[in-house]
Chain A
């Protein structure tokens, strides 16, 4: 009796291990349905590439492609979840797609699931990462997306570029431009002091505007700050104040933070010499409340240190750390001196290539053909956005009538 009881207990104890999904599954060459598999660029199903393309188009607010493409349909109101209220990814290019999880079509309902990240980049090198979760099904008529949700991923340590513009080049009217990110960058590039060119740097103590141009998209509650310090280490420094073009510092208006849909531009004013004493401008970043990084809540980090002596670049501790890490990993970034040189760039690029996650590029013609030869066919649903296209019999009639029309001497050459 005792041994029978023991057997029952053992079965009860082991039962969850057999029923829990995912346990004991292995990666198979045939990718059996409903199983979690590792994604590989070559093995990525072409319809998945099309689903991601359709989602990216929807995020950008652009129309879905026409012509020989199979139709990708969004069920219900899920497109609402793909469009941010104030922002479109219109000027952004999909740099890469990282697939974290991919579940092949389920036997019962036919839905495939995907969790991944989309990396975007625009012409001004602004970047953003979006977490994507989607569920889609391949039908005989089209590809139906049943679920699609996006969530921006904010960086722990954003990257930024710093520009210094002589105060006399900034007029009151120019501030109107700063409401637009591209116009701000255009203005800065036209007027900033060129770095690394000692001959073109103004001499003596002068008034300058400092522009911190963040490349990563920040969370709405992230905070940034500019400080001026005599030492490159630590976060200590005098907070830079912003003054109006007339030079008068206004109470309670010490900094100017411009938020271009998440891309910050901080503007401050300071009176310094770009050729005299070596000072450091520090960009401080305070992370706000983030869903994905609760540990670093509110901790200020140094996003960048910039030498005011533009003719001589400053050694960056972060670059030094990176160089050491690269040397340890077997790469050749040159000496660990904290300067971003050619060899460091090459080593970082090589490291990125080697570590490159499985990425999906745009669908190729072959992939499109592969899907079309499969169960997916282009839907013939009429669409109001499509410009008039005639059915074949009406086209024939139109052509016949054209041969019967007498030539109008006023319009025929």
Chain B
């Protein structure tokens, strides 16, 4: 048997080298491909040169505050040092009154070579609401310093920065505790999240397993995205017994859009204790980024919730 292999004695070392080094190369390629896949559907911002107002150059901080004031349409903190040469349409940003300044980052701070008093800055302003709702605005501004420390903003552009990694939160509410008519539902994101949160069942295992004989009941599942997403982005709330796939039952889901903050409401009959269920049931929030990320917009699961645990899961 081994004598028949002797005729391949020249080839065997080559095969061994290929298996050892060739596979290592393939592994590297695979890693690179995985990294690329992970980057797809995301907007990568450059490294910030300053991560708060007090770490920015003073003129950049003043311009950032002035742009912030335009976004929130507040004259309260208007600085006399800064004025706009022409009005900017930042009011269309529509962030809502309850969102407040939560931080800022500066990415570009450039001085014009021909005229040192002229500068260009680009950065991001973050906003956050009381219940964790978030939004970001990208801005680009060209300004010049004039006499007596005054700054004149020649140009400013503000655009919403939509999240490509939105954070979902899920509440489960008994259908019986919901209003009978759709008109009686709160009509703002803030009120709806407060309403659902207050009426929701706690996911604490002790509470659920206390009622081991519980039969299937009618529930409403609310999935709120805390981050603002693009109008072309898509949120889907699905139910499935498969833990990893992006597919599942979605026909019973309704969606609401509050200026970019999405809410998915799924209604159905199931048992939270999963007493006599053979397989675990998962509720998944699937997200597809908007057109701003490019042509490749792969859907991915951003939230997975085990709405009941089976015996096998419990033993784990």
- List residues of chain A with CB under 8 Å of any chain B CB: 61-63, 77, 80, 83, 85, 88, 383-385, 387-388, 390, 394, 397-398, 400-401, 403-411
Contacts and interface: CB of A to CB of B under 8 A. Distances in A.
Contacts of A85: 148-149
A398 B198 CA distance: 10
Given A388-B100, A388-B102, 20 more contacts: A63-B53, A80-B149, A383-B77, A384-B65, A384-B76, A387-B103, A397-B197, A398-B131, A400-B198, A401-B194, A404-B202, A405-B171, A407-B203, A407-B305, A408-B168, A408-B169, A410-B301, A410-B303, A410-B304, A411-B303
Q: What range describes how many residues of B lie at the interface?
A: 35 or more
A322 B81 CA distance: 49
Interface residues of A, dominant DSSP: loop
Contact of A406 (B58, B167, B193, B203): B203
A409 B193 CA distance: 21
B304 A401 contact: no
A387 B58 contact: no
10 contacts: A61-B58, A63-B54, A387-B101, A387-B103, A404-B197, A405-B170, A407-B305, A408-B303, A408-B304, A411-B303
Interface of B: 53-54, 58, 65, 68-69, 74, 76-77, 80, 100-103, 128, 130-132, 148-149, 167-172, 193-194, 197-198, 200-204, 301-307
Contacts of A88: 58
A381 to B, nearest CB: 10
Nearest to B130: A394
A372 to B, nearest CB: 24
Nearest to A63: B54
Given A63-B54, A388-B101, A400-B197, A406 B77 contact: no
A88 B54 CA distance: 14
Contact of B305 (A62, A80, A387, A408): A408
Contact of A385 (B53, B197, B305, B306): B53
A401 B168 CA distance: 13
Contacts of B307: 406
A369 B193 CA distance: 42
B174 to A, nearest CB: 13
A83 B202 contact: no
A403 B53 contact: no
